């Protein structure tokens, strides 16, 4: 991913404007505005219950905000289904391994590739005879180092490779914007940087425009982000470049429960 430069002079890929979300008397989001530009890796951080998941679900079209609006490539998300959004270029990890544990790695990637090709699910049984799907599957597997595992059940992969497959499934959609929700959760400390390096290199190779990363691991946030958005009680409390964010003792104390480290 390339670092953001002169973002104010360019149109955002993804934009939320004064987004709020209410569930009865409970306010999950409070007038949140944010923008995502080409070349950025923006991390969303905050304590449990801060509104991170609600914000991401709203940004990716899963939830429609009570007030405000979200635009992707300049078009409103309201009323657009998740599958349609994925074909337009807004994708998040499918976690298909959990949904279809008996599929092989090849078949798992083929599900996503079929959707990207406008064939939805019906091509799963015949994907081997479809050259376009086959090329996407092979390209994606190679980008993630999964080419030697294509014909084994996805559920039998080591945990780290299953996490890579989750992301690979989303990248098979050739998204312009990709959401990564704690992509190294449950992975050993020794493996987490390797997984992040692999998936970001793959995203670069497959020309992903920008990434939204929801992450609790502040080491990963510091190492890979270009900008950080911090949430608390449904409100945005910071939106800053990495150094400025980590120099802010007050925000850090809220996000991680202690001062700068």
Residue 28 sits in the same domain as residue 60: yes
Which residue stretches of the chain are H helix?
52-59, 82-88, 96-99, 105-116, 131-143, 159-171, 189-205, 218-224, 242-246, 249-256
Question: Is 75 inside a domain boundary?
Answer: yes
Residue-range definition of the domain harbouring residue 11: 1-81+177-185+209-261
Those residues whose C-beta lies under 8 Å from the C-beta of residue 261, and which sit 6 or more positions away, are none
Those residues whose C-beta lies under 8 Å from the C-beta of residue 58, and which sit 6 or more positions away, are 16, 19, 21, 29, 64, 65, 70
What CATH number does the domain containing 253 carry?
3.40.50.300
Residue 1 sits in the same domain as residue 75: yes
Mean pLDDT in order along the chain per 10 residues (261 residues): 52 96 94 97 95 91 92 88 80 70 88 67 56 86 92 91 88 89 85 91 92 94 97 96 96 76 36
Residue 39 sits in the same domain as residue 50: yes
Sheet with 235-241, side-by-side order of all strands: 90-92, 177-181, 210-214, 41-45, 227-232, 235-241
Q: Which of 174, 197, 226 finishes a domain? A: 174
The Cα 58–Cα 77 span in angstroms is 9
Residue 130 sits in the same domain as residue 103: yes
What are 26-45's pLDDT values in tens digits? 999 999 999 999 999 999 99
Residue 54 sits in the same domain as residue 181: yes
101: which 2 tokens? 């544990």
Q: Which of 154, 174, 194 finishes a domain? A: 174
Give the pLDDT of residue 211: 96
Q: Euclidean distance between the first and final Cα of the chain, in Å?
A: 27
Chain Cα centroid distance, residue 164: 12
Q: Which of 119, 153, 174 finishes a domain? A: 174
Residue 31 sits in the same domain as residue 147: no
Residue 13 sits in the same domain as residue 72: yes
Give the pLDDT of residue 209: 96
Residue 132 sits in the same domain as residue 98: yes
pTM, full prediction: 0.85
How many structural domains are present in the chain? 2
Question: Is 124 inside a domain boundary?
Answer: yes
Residue 71 sits in the same domain as residue 108: no
Instruction: Give strand pairing partners of 178.
Output: 91, 211
Residue 6 sits in the same domain as residue 67: yes
Q: How far is CA 186 from CA 109, 161, 201, 219, in A?
A: 22, 12, 21, 15
Question: Is 136 inside a domain boundary?
Answer: yes
The Cα 253–Cα 129 span in angstroms is 55
Give the pLDDT of residue 4: 46
Residue 53 sits in the same domain as residue 98: no
Question: Is 194 inside a domain boundary?
Answer: no
Residue 5 sits in the same domain as residue 126: no
- Is the Cβ–Cβ distance between 150 and 105 less than 8 Å? yes
Sheet with 14-23, side-by-side order of all strands: 26-36, 14-23, 67-72, 75-76
What are 93-143's pLDDT values in tens digits? 765 666 677 889 998 898 878 766 555 545 455 556 677 788 889 989 998
């Amino acid at each position: 991913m390339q670092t953001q430069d002169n973002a104010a002079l360019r149109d955002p890929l993804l934009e939320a404007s004064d987004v709020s979300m209410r569930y009865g008397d409970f306010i999950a989001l409070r007038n949140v505005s944010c923008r995502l530009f080409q070349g950025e890796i923006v991390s969303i951080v905050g304590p449990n219950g801060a509104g991170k998941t609600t914000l991401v679900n709203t940004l990716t079209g899963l939830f429609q905000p009570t007030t405000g609006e979200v635009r992707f490539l300049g078009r409103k998300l309201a009323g657009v289904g998740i599958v349609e959004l994925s074909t337009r270029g807004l994708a998040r990890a499918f976690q298909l391994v959990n949904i279809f544990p008996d599929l092989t790695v090849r078949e798992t990637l083929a599900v996503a590739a079929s959707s990207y090709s406008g064939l939805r699910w019906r091509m799963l049984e015949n994907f081997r005879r479809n050259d376009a799907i086959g090329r996407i599957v092979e390209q994606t597997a190679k980008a993630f180092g999964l080419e030697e595992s294509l014909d084994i059940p996805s559920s039998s992969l080591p945990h780290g490779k299953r996490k890579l497959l989750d992301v690979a499934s989303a990248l098979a959609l050739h998204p312009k914007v990709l959401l990564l929700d704690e992509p190294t959760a449950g992975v050993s400390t020794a493996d987490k940087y390797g997984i992040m390096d692999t998936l970001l290199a793959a995203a670069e190779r497959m020309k992903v425009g920008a990434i939204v990363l929801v992450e609790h691991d502040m080491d990963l946030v510091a190492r890979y982000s270009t900008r950080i958005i911090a949430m608390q009680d449904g409100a945005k409390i910071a939106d800053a470049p990495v150094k400025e964010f980590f120099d802010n003792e007050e925000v850090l104390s809220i996000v991680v429960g202690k001062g700068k480290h």
